[in-house]
Amino acid sequence: MNIQSFENTHPDIAEGVFVHASALVIGDVTIGTDSSVWPFTIVRGDVNSIRIGSNTNIQDNSVLHVTHDGPYNPGGYGLEIGDNVTVGHRVILHGCKVGHHCLIGMGATVMDGAVLEDKVLLGAGSLVTPGKTLQSGYLWIGSPAKRARKLTDEEIESLEYSAQHYVRLKNRYLDVRP
């Protein structure tokens, strides 16, 4: 089974969500309406919580995890992803916060305590180091991620388009399910 409880905590998955049969969702995970989790993705809310907003897509081979409450991380780090977010293929999100209307490029890594404000475009392969905040309205690239330039109006519109494209795509997958 690809949706599993952990220590009596079961994922809370809203109406209209698509979780591919090869993806794995475990424990204290909430997924908002019309979101999608694509093949071979792991969403592991075992030692802290994961909250995924509405109209958000987590693409193939991504890993979403958290940090436990302990002496070196008081309170730990949960993972929060806002609404209308596109998480590209093979992304690692670990104990961070992603605002609304963001796009995280393929192969990027976002580490504990990092914050992506609303309307951030994070380039493919970028590394966001622990505790770093990426300001809204900019393209961030590199390892470590640095602010490259202000987003154009067209790029900001494309963030919404990407999220809505994946809502339409997951609906096509749900339409063919038995």
Q: Is residue 175 pLDDT above 60, yes or no?
A: yes
Q: Is residue 143 pLDDT above 60, yes or no?
A: yes
Looking at every residue in the chain, the average pLDDT score rounds to: 97
* Span 86-101, average pLDDT: 98
pTM of the predicted structure, to 2 decimals: 0.96
What's the pLDDT score for residue 149? 98
Q: Which residues of 82-93 are buried (b: 16+ CB within 10 A; e: fewer)?
A: bbbbbbbbbbbb
**Domains of the chain: total:** 1
What's the pLDDT score for residue 1? 65
The residue type of 14 is A
Instruction: Supply φ then ψ for residue 137, to 5 degrees.
Output: 85, 15
CB atoms within 10 A of CB 111: 19
What's the pLDDT score for residue 87? 98
Domain of 162 in residue numbering reads as 3-175
Q: Is residue 56 pLDDT above 80, yes or no?
A: yes
* Span 18-33, average pLDDT: 98
* Span 105-118, average pLDDT: 98
User: At 168, which CATH number?
Assistant: 2.160.10.10
Contact 38, 22 (CB under 8 A): no
What's the pLDDT score for residue 66? 98
